[in-house]
Amino acid sequence: NAGVTQTPKFRILKIGQSMTLQCTQDMNHNYMYWYRQDPGMGLKLIYYSVGAGITDKGEVPNGYNVSRSTTEDFPLRLELAAPSQTSVYFCASSRQGTYNEQFFGPGTRLTVL
């Protein structure tokens, strides 16, 4: 099992550009999450999904969009990148319910200049 994989590992964007962060899990988990981690801070939930076709907002959804067309994939879309979106982005997955252990990807470091 590869677990949770994320691409790319690093990316530099210019203000106003857009990009998609990819996330794939091979554990057949229903729940998937996107977090951002700012320097010296904890993780903030951006969006989450409880299954294919179902997504919901977390604490900090503004400026982001997600889709969940398959169980395995949960891409995060940034439209009109802003410097405030400079952060490390983590994708995670878990079995049914947020009470289960979350398995995290290695993260994507994004810089917006």
**Binding residues for other proteins, per CB under 8 A?**
33, 35, 40-45, 48, 58, 88, 90, 92, 98-99, 101-102, 104, 106-107
Between the CA of residue 73 and those of 67, 84, 98, what are the distances in Å? 9, 26, 18
Preceding amide of 106 cis, omega within 30: no
Nearer to other proteins, 18 or 111 (CB): 111
Shortest approach of other proteins to residue 107 CB, angstroms? 5
Query: Residue 28 CB, nearest distance to other proteins (Å)?
Result: 19
CA distances from 75 to 39, 83, 99 (A): 23, 21, 23
By C-beta, is 1 or 99 nearer to other proteins? 99
